[in-house]
Copies of this chain bind each other. A is one copy, B any other.
Amino acid sequence: MNLADVARRAGVSSATASRALSDHPHVAVATRERVWQAARELEYVASPDATGLARGTTGRVAVVVPHLARWWFGAALEGLSGALRAAGLDLLLYRLGDAEARQAFFDELPARRRVDAVVLLGFGVDERERERLDRIGVGIVAAGTRVGSHPSVSIDEYAAGRQAMDHLLHLGHRRIGMIAAADPELDLAQPAGRSTAYHAALADAGIEPDPDLTVTVTWSPESGARAMSELLGLADPPTAVYAHSDEIALGALRTLRRAGYRVPEDVSVIGIDDHPLAAITDLSTVAQPAAEQGELAAGTVIAGLAGEPVDPLVTVPTRLVIRGTSGRPPGRRGAS
């Protein structure tokens, strides 16, 4: 059972199937669903040969990260490091720097060959980088993202976004803003699913999307604060805001409180992550288990090195966590 079988069953080309399975942004939602459905029905499992994972000899695994100071990366690395250590594998850490350092890293990787496997943590790669990765002759595993047809462990970005959006819609909100996150330098295959979910949820609710209600910023609390100012400056501001991350949502909350808006009486806010400070700031969110994604990626590496079959698409569940920042829209409070 290989990628071609999945593609055939889904009625798409292998290239499209590969893109769909890696959440490539240019794949239509319906196509993506069909490919995933086919993969599930066929219980598609990549063979060690297909994934390039073969028993290694250096006893080291390279872990490549774009950031370390942001919560998700630290937590995922914590899970990953524990599981690799338990298996007696050393962890070589590579942090990507600026665009130039990044290019150098991927250029040098195939010649490097000092590790048995490479784990990519929380960032996408472009075609050129993917081609370099394919040449290094050791297994590649992605966590928190999908990279080509390499085995990956991640949440379903689209499903997470729908959990947040559907919660706001169920509360009765119709005018919902989105603070989308992007890192042009690093997130080359960024969680398009989180944005797709916004538009699909609005469409399902029969709401015409208003482009003014979407602001795209970088992944930081400060960006969230600025984006919220922008949304509040609209002639008709949103009654609820869906942020792509908790850090961004916490920034948005700051602007709302400074401006004297009550949360959630005047404006509701929801994020994604369940950052350690979300509970303490009473932020409604969609929880994703970051450490678990790291652990499962380590498990995939270990299985691959042992020549065992590897599940190419591990999806860890997300969970809506309703706290104090989401409520009914103004004028609908007390309504059933």
Residues of chain A whose beta carbon lies under 8 Å from any beta carbon of chain B? 22-26, 32, 55-57, 59-60, 63, 67-71, 73-75, 77-78, 81-82, 85, 88-95, 97, 101, 114, 116, 220-222, 224-225, 247, 250-251, 254, 276-277, 279-282, 290-291, 305
Counting chain B CB atoms within 10 Å of each CB, the highest count among A69, A114, A222, A281 belongs to A69
Q: Are A74 and B69 CB-contacts (below 8 A) given A59-B22, A280-B221? A: yes
Q: Does A277 contact B221, Cβ atoms closer than 8 Å?
A: yes
Q: Does A277 contact B250, Cβ atoms closer than 8 Å?
A: yes
| Distance, CA A88 to CA B40, complexed state (A) | 17
Q: Are A78 and B95 CB-contacts (below 8 A) given A250-B277, A276-B247, A281-B281? A: yes
Q: Are A90 and B92 CB-contacts (below 8 A) given A74-B68, A279-B222? A: yes
Q: Does A279 contact B221, Cβ atoms closer than 8 Å?
A: yes
Q: Does A81 contact B57, Cβ atoms closer than 8 Å?
A: no
14 A-B contacts, Cβ less than 8 Å apart?
A23-B89, A67-B78, A68-B78, A69-B78, A69-B276, A69-B290, A85-B95, A90-B114, A91-B92, A221-B276, A221-B280, A247-B277, A254-B281, A254-B282
Q: Which residue of B55, B94, B220, B251 is within 8 Å of A25 (Cβ)?
A: B55
Nearest opposing residue in chain B for A253, CB measure = B280
Q: Does B81 contact A74, Cβ atoms closer than 8 Å?
A: no
Q: Which residues of B contact A251 (CB under 8 A)?
A: 280
| Distance, CA A220 to CA B286, complexed state (A) | 21
| Distance, CA A95 to CA B291, complexed state (A) | 13
| Distance, CA A114 to CA B114, complexed state (A) | 13
Q: Which residue of B32, B81, B282 is within 8 Å of A93 (Cβ)?
A: B81
Q: Which residues of B contact A279 (CB under 8 A)?
A: 221-222
Q: Which residues of B contact A57 (CB under 8 A)?
A: 24-26
Q: Does B221 contact A59, Cβ atoms closer than 8 Å?
A: no
Cβ distance A66 to chain B, nearest Cβ, rounded Å:
10
Q: Which residues of B contact A71 (CB under 8 A)?
A: 69, 74
Q: Which 10 pairs across A and B sit closest by C-beta, in order of nearness?
A: A74-B74, A68-B78, A221-B280, A69-B75, A81-B95, A68-B74, A69-B74, A91-B93, A93-B93, A254-B280
Q: Does B94 contact A85, Cβ atoms closer than 8 Å?
A: yes
Cβ distance A88 to chain B, nearest Cβ, rounded Å:
5
Cβ distance A108 to chain B, nearest Cβ, rounded Å:
11
Q: Which residues of B contact A280 (CB under 8 A)?
A: 221-222, 224-225, 250-251, 254
18 more A-B contacts (CB under 8 A) besides A25-B57, A69-B78? A23-B88, A23-B90, A24-B59, A25-B116, A68-B68, A68-B77, A68-B81, A70-B74, A85-B95, A85-B97, A85-B101, A90-B114, A93-B93, A220-B276, A247-B276, A250-B277, A251-B280, A254-B282
